[in-house]
Chain A
Amino acid sequence: MSGMSDVFENINIAQVVIHEVFKRGPNREIVDPVFGEQKILLDAEAMTALRDRLIKALGQSSRCMEMDLQIDGEGSGVDLAKRLLDAGEDFALASREVAVKLAGAQTRQDLPGGIVVVLTGTAGVPGKRFVCKLKAEPHNGFTRVAAAGVISLQFLKDLILTPQTRLYKIGCFVELDKDAPVNTPLASNWKAFIYDETMSTSNKLSAANYFYDGFLGLKFPQNGATRTKEFHDHTKDFIKGLDISPERKNDLLNALITYLKVDQSPSIQVAEFSQTYLPEPEIRDGYEGFMTEKNFPLTAINKDLAYVEKSLKFRRVVFSQGIKLTGPADQFAEKISIEQILGDQGEDGAAAPWTKIIIKSPIQLQE
């Protein structure tokens, strides 16, 4: 199994630097970032927690999305990532450019400031180098303090990187081949991922999109419609192949249509579908294994219904001797119930499996 799903296994974090960017001034002027002078040394526990945040955001079945490079010239997000990996001793200094770029990209005045974490490391087998550019918005909380045997609360204003996932965004650039020839186009030697729960794939003008767009120089992949169709077709095949009752199969096929069509979420994801509609862990694992085998990523895909529109319009159930039941997909779940019942005994003495269909409507027309 080597696909998208294990890009972020075996994460080792090598260098970490932080800077701070601020909200724009009253006249929308950029407020200069404050730069961290040097690399940060974290103890084992802190390192584990930081790795945890990365994996929740980027790992297998996370909500991260693979993106395409929008720009890859000098000064672009990917170009900067490459320079950071090769910066060596100058890493802390070079990473300032990340903060400067973010401050520049936050053009709207209402965008909050935050801590910019720039980190490098390796991931995968064999280890591939990566750069993460992370923006963490401070929020507040409490900690307990014990003094002289009395426990009390202390208010903390600048908490960052708590497990509150909506409060950080990550752009990650992974280098595929460290020894690629110098003239290799960046687009073919780098993969880019983004984790940002606030971004919108449908509204390109959404306020949150400065992060992937202006800051990182990324765009949504062009294959959204193809991927969405693959998701639909593979999931349908999987459900059809399940060893479950016809009633449940019918429910799941209806659920697939609901998930794609009715759900307003801008992205689709294998884990999300299975967590919502497949209660048994064994079936969930079977589904993920099936999708992985079909090379379908377990991370998020931007939803584009262009190629599945037709399939989502009608549901069809076929019986023997040319008998068919079809109906508009959005009515199917609500108006039709299907139940397997025991019919007459056949010659072998066993009851034949029959189907009882209830259509919650009077007959409109007969021919």
Chain B
Amino acid sequence: MNEQEFATRWAEEVSQYAAWGNYITKHIVETLDQRIKSEHATFLKIPPEPRLKKLESLIDKAFHRGKPYTDPYVQITDKVGVRFVVLLVNDIKFIEGILAEWEDIAYSKDRDYEKERLENPLEFTYQSVHYVVRATRIIEHDGIEIAEGTPCEIQIRTLLQHAHSELTHDSIYKPAAAVKADPSILRVVARSMALIEATDECFDRVVEKLTEMERPFRESLHILGRLYHEYLGRPAELERSNTLILEAYSDLIGDNLEAKIRDFIERKPYIVAQISQHAENSHLFRQASTLLVYMAASAKPHTTKDRWPFTTDDLTLIYADLGINFDAY
């Protein structure tokens, strides 16, 4: 295949590659949407946009860089590519998981920095996960038929890896001989990669620790949300104020939160109707933790008032529902 033939075929198939890139991006974004709901907006740090290689770059890569291609059109697998940038190393695995269970594609790991690290433990260099993803069947998207086997390159990186790559990729990995020959530049680049690797690891640990710390809160909130839904017949809101309330009364929760709440409501069934009525006008009463506030106010009115994290209007209502003179506390 010569340059002319390459260019002709690319012109015929370019829209197919564009559709393929869109199809893959759409699938991953939508799957993230379902899996992590509201948090997805911040999960991808840069909006993923599939990019087609320009014809000039393709020709350059196929015929003018001394690469040992026998069939360059087929062997160049990044004619279309899309990049996913996430915060954490663990987030990379999340996207890999989505690829692994997707039946429309077959994929191969083209570049795996974790493997590269093991192979060259003394080297700190460009890190990113690259996949070549191919259609396992004929797929129709955007009104275009995508041939089986059409490749697309997917890169998955952390923000820090991305930053490093933005800084160095063009100049170092496709470099002029002079740059490559200057060991002091390579040394600084390697050092910054080493820092990034260390920092990425720290980030993962930070998130693990935070998750561990939040676990009791999440569990309590989950129970409260479920009970709220059951008693009120409507889903509870789980806004941030819930965390402040749980934090304020965490030592009053103890074990068996669910049994305690159930017992409390059995003794004071009227609070369900009261919450329902207040929920019309007041944000607090739509939150799952409202149930906890009623229980705390009933059992420990002094402590509950003392630690109340917001202005007292709503709390006054709760005390009044319970028949407690707010002013005496």
A362 close to chain B: CB less than 8 A: no
B202 close to chain A: CB less than 8 A: no
A215 close to chain B: CB less than 8 A: no
Known: A52-B316, A62-B328, A123-B323. Is A282-B268 also a contact (CB below 8 A)?
Answer: no
B231 close to chain A: CB less than 8 A: no
Query: In the bound complex, do residue B322 and residue A9 qualify as a contact, i.e. CB atoms below 8 Å apart?
Result: yes
Q: Please report the C-alpha to C-alpha distance between residue A275 and residue B323 in the assembled complex, in whole angstroms.
A: 19
Known: A51-B320, A55-B323, A288-B302. Is A275-B328 also a contact (CB below 8 A)?
Answer: yes
Contact with B along A284-298 (1 / 0, CB 8 A): 110011000000000
Contact residues in A for B269 (Cβ distance below 8 Å): 125
Known: A48-B317, A125-B267, A125-B268. Is A56-B325 also a contact (CB below 8 A)?
Answer: yes
B323 to chain A, nearest CB (A): 3
A61 close to chain B: CB less than 8 A: yes
Query: In the bound complex, do residue A11 and residue B323 qualify as a contact, i.e. CB atoms below 8 Å apart?
Result: yes
Counting contact residues on chain B (CB < 8 A from A), the size range is 20 to 34
Contact residues in B for A52 (Cβ distance below 8 Å): 316, 320
Contact with B along A55-70 (1 / 0, CB 8 A): 1110111100000000
Contact with A along B55-89 (1 / 0, CB 8 A): 00000000000000000000000000000000000
Query: In the bound complex, do residue B267 and residue A60 qualify as a contact, i.e. CB atoms below 8 Å apart?
Result: no
Q: Please report the C-alpha to C-alpha distance between residue A125 and residue B302 in the assembled complex, in whole angstroms.
A: 23
Tell me which residues from 286 to 329 in chain B have a Cβ below 8 Å from any Cβ of chain A: 299-303, 305-307, 316-317, 319-329
**A6 contacts which of B300, B303, B323 (Cβ < 8 Å)?**
B323
Q: Please report the C-alpha to C-alpha distance between residue A6 and residue B301 in the assembled complex, in whole angstroms.
A: 13
Query: In the bound complex, do residue B301 and residue A10 qualify as a contact, i.e. CB atoms below 8 Å apart?
Result: no
B178 to chain A, nearest CB (A): 73
Q: Please report the C-alpha to C-alpha distance between residue A48 and residue B320 in the assembled complex, in whole angstroms.
A: 9
A121 to chain B, nearest CB (A): 12
A238 to chain B, nearest CB (A): 14
Contact residues in B for A312 (Cβ distance below 8 Å): none
Tell me which residues from 105 to 156 in chain A have a Cβ below 8 Å from any Cβ of chain B: 123, 125
**A55 contacts which of B268, B301, B303, B320 (Cβ < 8 Å)?**
B320
Query: In the bound complex, do residue A61 and residue B324 qualify as a contact, i.e. CB atoms below 8 Å apart?
Result: yes
Contact residues in B for A55 (Cβ distance below 8 Å): 319-320, 323-326
A355 to chain B, nearest CB (A): 31
Majority DSSP secondary structure for residues of A touching B: helix
Contact residues in B for A212 (Cβ distance below 8 Å): none
Chain A residue, CB-CB nearest to B266: A125
B113 close to chain A: CB less than 8 A: no
B270 close to chain A: CB less than 8 A: yes
Query: In the bound complex, do residue A285 and residue B323 qualify as a contact, i.e. CB atoms below 8 Å apart?
Result: no
Q: Please report the C-alpha to C-alpha distance between residue A6 and residue B323 in the assembled complex, in whole angstroms.
A: 7
Query: In the bound complex, do residue B268 and residue A10 qualify as a contact, i.e. CB atoms below 8 Å apart?
Result: yes
A281 close to chain B: CB less than 8 A: yes
Contact residues in A for B317 (Cβ distance below 8 Å): 48
Q: Please report the C-alpha to C-alpha distance between residue A8 and residue B319 in the assembled complex, in whole angstroms.
A: 11
Query: In the bound complex, do residue A62 and residue B270 qualify as a contact, i.e. CB atoms below 8 Å apart?
Result: no
Query: In the bound complex, do residue A125 and residue B270 qualify as a contact, i.e. CB atoms below 8 Å apart?
Result: yes
Chain B residue, CB-CB nearest to A269: B328
Contact residues in B for A199 (Cβ distance below 8 Å): none
Contact with A along B102-138 (1 / 0, CB 8 A): 0000000000000000000000000000000000000
Interface size of A by CB at 8 A reads 27
Query: In the bound complex, do residue B324 and residue A59 qualify as a contact, i.e. CB atoms below 8 Å apart?
Result: yes
Known: A9-B268, A275-B328. Is A281-B303 also a contact (CB below 8 A)?
Answer: yes
Q: Please report the C-alpha to C-alpha distance between residue A7 and residue B307 in the assembled complex, in whole angstroms.
A: 26
Chain A residue, CB-CB nearest to B305: A281
Query: In the bound complex, do residue B302 and residue A285 qualify as a contact, i.e. CB atoms below 8 Å apart?
Result: yes
A98 close to chain B: CB less than 8 A: no
Contact residues in B for A11 (Cβ distance below 8 Å): 320, 323
A194 close to chain B: CB less than 8 A: no
Q: Please report the C-alpha to C-alpha distance between residue A284 and residue B306 in the assembled complex, in whole angstroms.
A: 11
A14 to chain B, nearest CB (A): 15
Query: In the bound complex, do residue B325 and residue A285 qualify as a contact, i.e. CB atoms below 8 Å apart?
Result: no
Q: Please report the C-alpha to C-alpha distance between residue A334 and residue B270 in the assembled complex, in whole angstroms.
A: 51
A296 to chain B, nearest CB (A): 15
Contact residues in B for A10 (Cβ distance below 8 Å): 268, 270, 321, 323
Known: A51-B320, A52-B320. Is A285-B328 also a contact (CB below 8 A)?
Answer: no
Scoring A10, A51, A284 by chain B CB atoms within 10 A of each residue's CB, the highest score goes to A10
A268 close to chain B: CB less than 8 A: no
Contact with B along A39-60 (1 / 0, CB 8 A): 0000000001001100111011
Q: Which 3 A-B pairs have the closest CB atoms?
A: A9-B323, A61-B328, A281-B302
Binding site for B on A (CB under 8 A): 6-11, 48, 51-52, 55-57, 59-62, 123, 125, 271, 274-275, 281-282, 284-285, 288-289
18 A-B pairs with CB atoms under 8 Å apart are A7-B323, A9-B324, A10-B270, A48-B317, A52-B316, A55-B325, A55-B326, A56-B325, A59-B325, A60-B301, A60-B322, A60-B325, A123-B323, A125-B269, A271-B325, A281-B303, A281-B305, A285-B303
Binding site for A on B (CB under 8 A): 267-270, 299-303, 305-307, 316-317, 319-329
